[in-house]
Structure 1
């Protein structure tokens, strides 16, 4: 059984840093689409329904469909630029330009009109909430981002030496999380005038530090700058002899070697890559992993997709919510590295679970490479359960006590950290089992299924919240069944009151389904998968 070094090999440091930067770029649009835009939609217009937010989640679907074109990315390329750079360079360049264009469109109120007014005044109401147009713009952006992800995943298997291969998942975790938090938590923090006045400024101002349009334009410039560096300061050097690089060349960022680069055009033809793709799908081990990916994230969808938005709806201040999420950031970065080591085989040579420890064995089974991922599932499930208590205990008078604020921080920290544990643990596992001959396609297939598992239930769960929520119109203190709809209620001088919050029903359902899936299927199958030999995952 292969072991993993305790530290990243010195000659892999610069390629590792390059991977972190490339994944960081990927995290910028991901943070905007998955976090910032839904947050702004709900905080700017509190009457935005969860079903409408579900419509915007369609912008994230390319991450769950990228397997459809990943064989194209793996097989079509310029031999002069290199197999991976042929895609990374143009896709990142177009992404940077598009970020700049969207930024200009927002600043001129062409799309998402009013969002920059919120930045200046924080009391105005958006004048044009065309969610369809906004969804279309981010759908294109995420499609480009997903394409870049395919190429970078493949390059990660090739520019790191075999002894440091497990750290590819660490680079992905650090880079993606940094980009995600920069575009979501950190952006919202500095976008809020209330936060800046409360925690940063000595003299209050009526605006934040960064507008959404300004951030998008700046991000576009960063994209372009990094792309120019990749274009002019790095290279791929395929070799027929498949020679190992010398230590001297290994240490130079401009001499990155594509160790798994197949120079035979017949082997890398589009038809052969698709053929290999279907061979992968026929493997029993991959089919089991596919089912796990598609089912495993259902349990967390209500918590991770609606809890923060529900807090905002109840009256939790935006700047205070930014603080709670901001605290997660250092934990994500620092512990992501150690989770990768935890997932390594070497760790388990010295950390075997005692057979006498019945409790631990009943929860996660025998120790193996997927043990951190199993613990992460239980942790996220616990965070989802705590979310119901968090919303139920929200102060009726709207005054946030210190105890409640700490409770919010702990719930966020548990869910976020355990999500990282699962992400890094699964990435480490998939990096080990992927066939390097079609590494980009193989990893993209598995990552796509993982993303799809978190995408397909989101719109359903958000719809469930609205469906099970019940309102009544109170006119002169009495319920009026004749009046239907918030607008009609206000027109009649009534008060539109929630009598049943569908959030509790949707979240409880998700948690119960998660418990049944984990103890009835997921744990047992994960135990079986981590014991399979490498040949069970090979398609040749």
Structure 2
């Protein structure tokens, strides 16, 4: 509840704090701020990994990582409280014009919001937001899991995310400055970006298929495989960031300053729902669309398929099939 309240307040604050000609930069600041938060995911995975800490940081190995989930949550909570308290103490609001105070209270705001939801254009746009990411979900969300399943170490994937996240952090600024300086029709930019994102999804699927054939005898992967992973992820980030900026810019342009924060957050929430439900459905159907087959074992040995060898010492191979990949274990 606290995070949702803060989200609404910041969205509305940007609409009233920035001048009319600078409101378009709110989307860039919004995306860059979220990317700073995403860094915590990568940093935590690295510092929580025993193998990574012992290999790259410590001189003497330990049984645990540097960070635990408990200590990381405590640190994040402290940052949340300190930053919010600093804003409370040192930031002063501007005096609003009379027309921006015409809607009184929470009930008046939600009554206006219900009228907005009844607009046919808003309903059609909500349908677009809820369905537009269906085509990207399987390739983008499952490919990482399938790479781990194919034997790519999680620590290496997390380590690869460090330069990607740094690139991801400055990418919104680069797009706003050089690639897309004057977004007059943001949804046109979003539509033109979609085919490239779909093509990169095919590249992610190809990496999963390729992983099983380039894996070395010692279980490691050649450097050029990681280079291909890095380039594909970098291109994917460009398309994701471009589409995200396009959506947020459009939301800012059509939001009424009278209820700007609620209006913008409503549209962003619908867009987030359009991201989350395909992820959930994809993960649910992953088990249904994945099956295993056992090679080299008799019917009585199939219960031991997940073990590398049966009781007689003969090799048993397990193959996992899905729409995206075919892996040998």
User: What's the TM-score once normalised by structure 1's chain length?
Assistant: 0.54
Equivalent of 1:235 in 87, 92, 95: 92
1:461 offset after TM fit, Å? 0.9
1:496 offset after TM fit, Å? 7.0
What is the correspondence of 1:236-385 to structure 2 with a 5 Å cutoff?
A: 236-239=93-96, 241-242=97-98, 261-262=100-101, 264=102, 267-341=103-177, 342-343=179-180, 346=182, 368-385=185-202
SS in 1 for 2:248: helix
Could you give the per-residue CA deviations for residues 4-39 of structure 1, whole angstroms, max 9, x where no partner exists? xxxxxxxxxxxxxxxxxxxxxxxxxxxxxxxxxxxx
What is the correspondence of 1:110-509 to structure 2 with a 5 Å cutoff?
A: 143-181=1-39, 183-200=40-57, 203-206=59-62, 207-239=64-96, 241-242=97-98, 261-262=100-101, 264=102, 267-341=103-177, 342-343=179-180, 346=182, 368-394=185-211, 395-396=214-215, 397=217, 398-474=219-295, 477-480=296-299, 495=316, 497-504=318-325
1:321 offset after TM fit, Å? 0.5
Could you give the per-residue CA deviations for residues 254-311 of structure 1, whole angstroms, max 9, x where no partner exists? xxxxxx741x4xx224443223222222333322321211111111112232221221
SS in 2 for 1:393: helix
Distance 1:492 1:431 in 2: 65
Would the aligned equivalents of 1:343 and 1:425 in 2 still touch at CA under 8 Å?
no
Alpha-carbon distance change, 164 to 211 in structure 1, aligned in 2, over 3 angstroms: same
Distance 2:307 2:149 in 1: 21
Could you give the per-residue CA deviations for residues 365-398 of structure 1, whole angstroms, max 9, x where no partner exists? xxx3334323432232122111211111113443
Distance 2:292 2:253 in 1: 52
SS in 2 for 1:316: coil
SS in 2 for 1:498: strand
Number of the residue aligned with 1:110: none
SS in 2 for 1:235: coil
Would the aligned equivalents of 1:468 and 1:502 in 2 still touch at CA under 8 Å?
yes
1:438 offset after TM fit, Å? 1.3
SS in 1 for 2:24: helix
Alpha-carbon distance change, 488 to 423 in structure 1, aligned in 2, over 3 angstroms: same
Q: What 5-or-longer segments of structure 1 have no aligned partner?
A: 1-142, 243-259, 349-367, 506-540
Could you give the per-residue CA deviations for residues 29-80 of structure 1, whole angstroms, max 9, x where no partner exists? xxxxxxxxxxxxxxxxxxxxxxxxxxxxxxxxxxxxxxxxxxxxxxxxxxxx
Would the aligned equivalents of 2:164 and 2:234 in 1 still touch at CA under 8 Å?
yes
Distance 2:198 2:321 in 1: 24
What is the correspondence of 1:507-522 to structure 2 with a 5 Å cutoff?
A: none
1:484 offset after TM fit, Å? 6.5
Would the aligned equivalents of 1:343 and 1:428 in 2 still touch at CA under 8 Å?
no
Distance 2:104 2:325 in 1: 51
Would the aligned equivalents of 2:100 and 2:257 in 1 still touch at CA under 8 Å?
no
User: What's the TM-score once normalised by structure 2's chain length?
Assistant: 0.85
Would the aligned equivalents of 2:297 and 2:316 in 1 still touch at CA under 8 Å?
no
1:488 offset after TM fit, Å? 11
1:399 offset after TM fit, Å? 2.3
Distance 2:304 2:259 in 1: 55
1:481 offset after TM fit, Å? 8.3
CA RMSD of aligned residues (A): 2.9
